[in-house]
């Protein structure tokens, strides 16, 4: 998930009662909720392919999360001890309280990351296997509303905090509207968004945070669990509908189905992307969980054979290609110019995100290669 969501989860968890465990626990909770993303330091020493290889790596695995959950309170406690000596005062932090808060909040990071289709490698360094929850889009504005709303009601006490929350709400509103092309019904979503914001303002004016306290935080977590439950049922329905369509498509081509996945869309639990592969190709289409419909506009990419296989083999040891293929869940490729004379491009993509030839960050790749026909004639 995005770091805003992780931060809001940490802040809400602190307001649920973890802040009482020790002075400094609130800041610790926010940092612990984001700590596994410390793997971004890879960018300071390598390129984007190094980052793709190591992101959601050891710092997100069980062993890494536990290590960070121990280190962070120790750092807090050590800094407080040193500071108390210089200021000639007794230490204020409680190590046991910090440890407990750190372990609880640190566990939320891999859980949240697992829920989307990017995946996570829980068992590093012993296993490179990716696990995917396929429930929540990697950025979910509904989670912003739930956790952001709870944190707003529980932390807004000063003029400065009011300004911060107002700016954040305005920025998020602009972001949501700017990505309206990805939303199923921008007008409906905008109405929901505005309705929730107005409701939160009214609750704030009625001092809901003061009156209900930590119960608001617990209600936020309960609401998210209910939301995930609904998504789990929708996912199961999408997977079942997609399986039916996949059998029909594969049978029409005389193919045997292999891996399959139903994946969420941005703020649209009623429409899911379905991706599957067979012994000869990889496919993608979308399904509707309410009307049971599936798109007849099926995207199909044949698996590499002949010239495309030769082209892929010739570049397979290049670092970007090796890293990309290690990450991609449904890798597909095509030659930019199959009838080329001298040079062309091998266009790779992870079909869960994009198609070959489309620029999408680390989810697509183009590599120059000698035309396969020329390579064969030169042998």
| Res. 373 pLDDT band, cuts 50 70 90 | low
Looking at residue 88, its pLDDT comes to: 86
Looking at the fold, whether 272 and 341 belong to one and the same domain comes out as no
Q: Residue 215 domain-assigned?
A: no
User: Residue 37 pLDDT more than 90?
Assistant: yes
Looking at the fold, whether 31 and 110 belong to one and the same domain comes out as yes
Q: Residue 50 domain-assigned?
A: yes
Looking at residue 378, its pLDDT comes to: 40
Mean pLDDT over 370-378 rounds to 58
Looking at residue 336, its pLDDT comes to: 87
User: Residue 44 pLDDT more than 90?
Assistant: no
pLDDT tens per residue across span 62-80: 999 999 999 999 999 999 9
Looking at residue 115, its pLDDT comes to: 96
pTM over 0.85: yes
pLDDT tens per residue across span 122-140: 999 999 999 999 999 999 9
In this structure, what token pair is assigned to residue 27? 């800041």
Residue 237: give its domain's CATH number.
3.10.450
Looking at residue 95, its pLDDT comes to: 95
pLDDT tens per residue across span 302-340: 999 888 888 898 898 999 999 999 999 999 999 888 777
User: Residue 53 pLDDT more than 60?
Assistant: yes
| Res. 372 pLDDT band, cuts 50 70 90 | low
Q: Residue 151 domain-assigned?
A: no
User: Residue 360 pLDDT more than 80?
Assistant: no
Looking at the fold, whether 325 and 280 belong to one and the same domain comes out as no
Looking at residue 308, its pLDDT comes to: 87
CB burial readout 62-82, b (16+ within 10 A) else e = eebbeebbeebbeebbeebee
Q: Summarize the chain as % helix, strand, coil (round to 5).
A: 60, 15, 25
The continuous run of DSSP H or E covering 58 comes out as none
Cis peptide before 240 (omega within 30 of 0): no
Q: Residue 178 domain-assigned?
A: no
User: Residue 246 pLDDT more than 50?
Assistant: yes
Cβ–Cβ < 8 Å for 356, 338: no
Question: Which pairing describes strands 281-288 and 343-350: parallel, antiparallel, or unpaired?
Answer: unpaired
Looking at residue 379, its pLDDT comes to: 39
Looking at residue 283, its pLDDT comes to: 96
**pLDDT above 70 coverage of the chain, percent:** 97
Looking at the fold, whether 292 and 314 belong to one and the same domain comes out as no
Looking at the fold, whether 257 and 366 belong to one and the same domain comes out as no
User: Residue 375 pLDDT more than 70?
Assistant: no
Query: Domain ends where: 301, 322, 354?
Result: 301
Looking at the fold, whether 356 and 259 belong to one and the same domain comes out as no
| Res. 178 pLDDT band, cuts 50 70 90 | confident
Looking at residue 169, its pLDDT comes to: 93
User: Residue 185 pLDDT more than 50?
Assistant: yes
Looking at the fold, whether 263 and 320 belong to one and the same domain comes out as no
Looking at the fold, whether 276 and 330 belong to one and the same domain comes out as no
* CA atoms within 13 A of residue 105's CA, in its CB half-sphere: 38
Q: Residue 138 domain-assigned?
A: no
Looking at the fold, whether 104 and 18 belong to one and the same domain comes out as yes
User: Residue 291 pLDDT more than 90?
Assistant: no
Query: Domain ends where: 274, 301, 328?
Result: 301
Looking at the fold, whether 245 and 316 belong to one and the same domain comes out as no
Looking at the fold, whether 328 and 285 belong to one and the same domain comes out as no
Looking at the fold, whether 42 and 60 belong to one and the same domain comes out as yes
Q: Residue 319 domain-assigned?
A: yes
Q: SS3 for 361?
A: helix
Looking at residue 377, its pLDDT comes to: 42
Looking at residue 180, its pLDDT comes to: 66
User: Residue 376 pLDDT more than 60?
Assistant: no
User: Residue 260 pLDDT more than 70?
Assistant: yes
Which of these ranges, 25-39, 131-145, 341-355, has the smallest mean pLDDT? 341-355
Q: Residue 294 domain-assigned?
A: yes
Query: Domain ends where: 240, 272, 301?
Result: 301
Does residue 358 or residue 255 have the better pLDDT? 255
Looking at residue 374, its pLDDT comes to: 52
| Sheet architecture: strand order including 331-335 | 331-335, 343-350, 364-370
Looking at residue 164, its pLDDT comes to: 94
How many structural domains is the chain composed of? 3
Domain that holds residue 278: 232-301
């Amino acid at each position: 998930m995005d770091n805003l969501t992780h931060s809001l989860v940490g802040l809400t968890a602190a307001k649920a009662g973890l802040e009482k465990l020790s002075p400094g626990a609130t800041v610790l909770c926010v940092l612990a909720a984001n700590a596994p993303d410390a793997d971004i330091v890879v960018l300071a020493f390598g390129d984007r392919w190094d980052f793709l290889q190591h992101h959601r790596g050891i710092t997100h695995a069980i062993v890494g999360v536990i290590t960070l959950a121990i280190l962070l309170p120790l750092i807090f406690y050590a800094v407080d001890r040193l500071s108390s000596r210089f200021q000639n005062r007794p230490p204020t932090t409680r190590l046991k309280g910090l440890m407990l808060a750190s372990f609880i909040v640190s566990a939320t990071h891999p859980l949240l990351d697992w829920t989307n289709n990017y995946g996570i490698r829980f068992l590093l360094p012993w296993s490179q296997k990716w696990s995917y929850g396929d429930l929540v889009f990697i950025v979910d504005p509904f989670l912003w509303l739930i956790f952001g709303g709870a944190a707003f009601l529980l932390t807004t006490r000063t003029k400065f905090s009011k300004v911060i929350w107002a700016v954040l709400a305005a920025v998020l509103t602009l972001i949501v509207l700017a990505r309206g092309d990805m939303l199923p019904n921008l007008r409906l979503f905008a109405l929901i968004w505005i309705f929730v914001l107005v409701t939160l303002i009214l609750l704030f004016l009625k001092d809901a945070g003061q009156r209900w306290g930590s119960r608001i935080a617990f209600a936020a977590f309960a609401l998210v669990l209910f939301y995930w439950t609904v998504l789990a049922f929708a996912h199961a329905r999408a997977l079942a509908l997609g399986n039916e369509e996949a059998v029909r498509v594969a049978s029409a081509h005389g193919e045997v189905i292999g891996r399959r996945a139903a994946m969420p869309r941005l703020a649209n639990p009623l429409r899911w992307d379905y991706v599957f592969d067979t012994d000869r190709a990889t496919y993608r289409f979308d399904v509707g969980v309410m009307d049971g419909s599936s798109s007849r506009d099926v995207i199909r990419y044949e698996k590499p054979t002949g010239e495309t296989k030769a082209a892929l083999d010739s570049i397979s040891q290049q670092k970007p290609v090796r890293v990309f293929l290690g990450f991609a869940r449904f890798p597909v490729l095509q030659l930019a110019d199959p009838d080329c004379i001298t040079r062309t491009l091998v266009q790779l993509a992870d079909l869960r995100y994009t198609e070959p030839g489309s620029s999408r960050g680390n989810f697509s790749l183009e590599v120059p290669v000698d035309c396969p026909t020329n390579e064969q004639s030169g042998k």
